Structure 1
Amino acid sequence: MTRQARKRHHRGYTHIQKKYRTRRKTKDHDQIHEDMKPETAEKMLHQEVDLDKPGCAQHYCLHCARYFIDQNALKEHFRTKLHKRRLKALEMEPYTQKEADAAAGMGSYHAPKKKKVTTQPLEEEKKMDEKDD
């Protein structure tokens, strides 16, 4: 019996290990920023019924680009560390070509701005707000 060679990539960095060992490819931050624009966000949150996706594509987290089986699973996801970490990462503006040119010496550098990102409101919360008004 021979000894098995151990892989030594990213030892000690659990989130990086999981990223490279799973096949789930998630959207990048700049793609999610495009989805967060109001006209696109409305389409993503109110998709047509698709039986191939979890929950028939009716329960979607815009910031994490994930589908959930039901409303309760989506609510639970909003409280997880992964969702909060994604919100924190989305606060920074995406990297642009203008910023790359400035870093290369073709312009003056301006630090990227932060913007406030909050969890998307649920449908039942919107209905409750409308009843109160």
Structure 2
Amino acid sequence: MTYKRKKYHFGDTHLKKKWRTKRRTRDLDQIDGDLKPEKVDNLLTQKVDFDKPGLAQFYCVHCAKHFIDSHAFECHIKSKPHKRRLNALKTEPYTVEESLRAAGMGSYIPPKKRKMETLIPEAVKEGLKDVLDIKKKAKMSTDTDGDEKMK
């Protein structure tokens, strides 16, 4: 007796890779939480971290990505994935209250559209081009003793 071929999920490798934990990106509601004023300032002016690309100075808040230098960051701002992410963030994220209103427990209010602009990190505003510029700036801000200068 012959059996039916059971290779239904043959072309799903790109979907598996997308949803694996090691490649997991931040969801839109998490990024919306990052766009609150108290968190945005911390993300745009991060301290130098040697474990992250570009020493954590070139960070796109909307896409939750670190970039290696200002050129890569500027190319990313002009790219389609960044523009699509901005369009997706224009609508407010889905909440529990909205689901209750849609289920009939209150009057339904459609999600509001808001204006979304690209946020530029401090390193790009200061004109720092790459990791070498950041290291020079960090070296200049320390004394000969090794401690930071008084401000």
Unaligned stretches of 5+ residues in structure 1: 129-133
> Which deviations, in whole Å up to 9, do the C-alpha atoms of 1:34-73 show, x marking residues without a partner?
1011110000111111111101111100000000001111
Partner in structure 1 of residue 112 of structure 2: 113
Deviation at 1:9, TM superposition (A): 5.7
Tell me how many residue pairs correspond in the alignment: 123
CA separation of 1:59 and 1:50: change in aligned 2, threshold 3 A: same
Partner in structure 1 of residue 76 of structure 2: 77
Partner in structure 2 of residue 36 of structure 1: 35
The one-letter amino acid of 2:115's match is K
Compute the TM-score of the two structures, normalised by the length of structure 2.
0.70
Report whether the alignment pairs 1:48 with 2:50. no
Partner in structure 2 of residue 100 of structure 1: 99
The answer to whether the 8 Å contact 2:101/2:108 transfers is: yes
Deviation at 1:121, TM superposition (A): 3.1
- The structure whose RCO (Cα within 8 Å, separation 6+) is larger is 2
Secondary structure (helix, strand or coil) at the match of 2:40 reads: helix
Q: Distance in 1 between matches of 2:101 and 2:11?
A: 34
> Where do 1:84-95 residues align within 5 Å?
84-95=83-94
Percent sequence identity over aligned pairs:
51
Deviation at 1:96, TM superposition (A): 1.2
Compute the TM-score of the two structures, normalised by the length of structure 1.
0.78
Unaligned stretches of 5+ residues in structure 2: 1-6, 128-151
Q: Distance in 1 between matches of 2:88 and 2:56?
A: 25
